[in-house]
Every structure is written in C-alpha cells, then in structure tokens.
Amino acid sequence: MIRLRLVGTVAVLFDAMTPALAAPEPIGIVEKVQADASASQGGAIRALAPTGPVLFKDKFRTGPGARLEAKLDDGTVLTLGEKGRMTVDEFVYKPEYLGGAMSVKVAQGAFLFVGGKIEGPTGGNVVIETPVGTMGVRGTTVWGGRIDGGYGVLVLDGEVEVTTKRGTVLLKKGQGTMVYAGKAPMDAGAWPEDRTKRAVQTISFAKAQ
C-alpha cells in the first residue's frame, strides 16, 4: 500500500511539473476551397471549408483538381493548386508593430503568394521555400510551380530573389525565370503569353455555374 501511494504521489507531482501542450494558434481563415483540401496537425487530419480556421504549422494538402485559398491575419493570401503540399513554418505578426517574419514551405504543387503587411515595403522578413530553392520576397505577388519541364517563378508585382544551389536571380514585376535540374536559374525576362496563361490556370478556381 505504501508503495502504491508513493507511485501515485510521484505521478501527481510529475503531471503538475509538466507544461500542458499548447493548442495550435489560429493565424488566419480559409477563404475558398475547391474539391478535396485538408490540413493536419500532429497526425490529426481535418477537412477544410470556407471560414474555417488556419492554424500555425498546418500541413495543407490538396487532391486532384483541387484548389485552396487561405488568408492570414496580416492579409497575406496563399493559394495552392492541385496535388499540393504547403506549410506555414513561421508567422510572427503583431498589428501594432511594423515588421515581423514569415516562412512558407511549398513542398509540392503550384502556388500563388500575395503578400500582406508582414512583407510590405516597410515590413519584415518573408521566405518561401520550394523544391528547387528559396525565394526572398518584398511587396510581392508571385506564382511558382512545375511547368514546361522545369520549375517556374513568375512575379506579378513587387520583387523576388530566387536562390538555388546553382545561382541567384532577381525578378521584378512582369518577369519570370525557369529552373531546370542541375542548372542555374535562367535570366529574368518576360514569359510567353501561353506559359503565363497556363501558370494562372493552375491556381484558378472553377467558375460557378
């Protein structure tokens, strides 16, 4: 009996000394969903629907033909195309202060990033990680994804610095680059109209009938 009481006492003390696991922090909302889109946290998977919460460290996934659009608290809008995987790895934002930090990892699929207050002209540090390298962005609307046998990046507004293991290129509004396996990013330049249209289609939602 004495032994049982000691074990119970130790268990109570251990529980009191162990901090409770903090619940994931909401950092935005889901604005649009087309077809199958989900988010996972610690192995738990939930289906995503408009007005639902976006939680810090959510691992987004989209299925065939799917689209997902989420708006973060600073106004950043993230759109993910079909068969995509995306995570917001860092999100530091306080409305009363300038600056902050954000890191978005796009492991798979096409995406569109529309910057909010964190990465505005007087904002903080924002990095987008992609399968081919990283993007440093400023005041930006940028598309990225697989296209025409390589990985493309197209800047619709602002500036983006694309850095890979083979080199770096600075893109300004209206310019794009292509990254092919084992090669440095191509020089900045305007994309053919057809390629631009196909890129936009990868993150566009179907029109309501």
Residue 171 sits in a domain whose CATH number is: 2.60.120.1440
Domain assignment present for residue 183? The answer is yes
Q: What is the mean pLDDT of residues 160-166?
A: 95
Please indicate, yes or no, if residue 136 is contained in any of the structural domains.
Answer: yes
- Quick one: pLDDT at residue 94? 87
- Residue 151 belongs to what domain range? 25-201
> What was the pLDDT predicted at 120?
63
Quick check: 6 pLDDT over 50? no
Q: Rounded distance, CA 196 to CA 73, Å?
A: 29
In a domain, 129, yes or no: yes
Higher-scoring residue by pLDDT: 178, 8: 178
- Please write the tens of the pLDDT for every residue from 67-108: 999 999 999 999 999 999 999 999 999 887 777 899 999 999
Q: How many domains is the chain partitioned into structurally?
A: 1
Mean pLDDT of the chain: 88
172 within some domain? yes
> What are the E-state strand segments in 66-172?
67-72, 77-80, 85-92, 101-108, 111-114, 125-130, 133-147, 150-164, 167-172
83 domain-assigned? yes
Rounded to whole angstroms, the Cα distance separating 201 from 195 reads 10
Residue 40 belongs to a domain: yes
Element (H, E) at 33: strand 26-34
DSSP 120: S
Chain segment 25-72, per-residue pLDDT in tens: 899 999 999 999 999 998 899 999 999 999 999 999 999 999 999 999
Asked if residue 207 is part of any domain, the answer here is: no
For the segment 101-120, the average pLDDT, to the nearest whole number, is 93
Is 11 part of a structural domain of the chain? no
Average pLDDT over residues 144-173: 96
Check residue 167 and give its pLDDT: 96
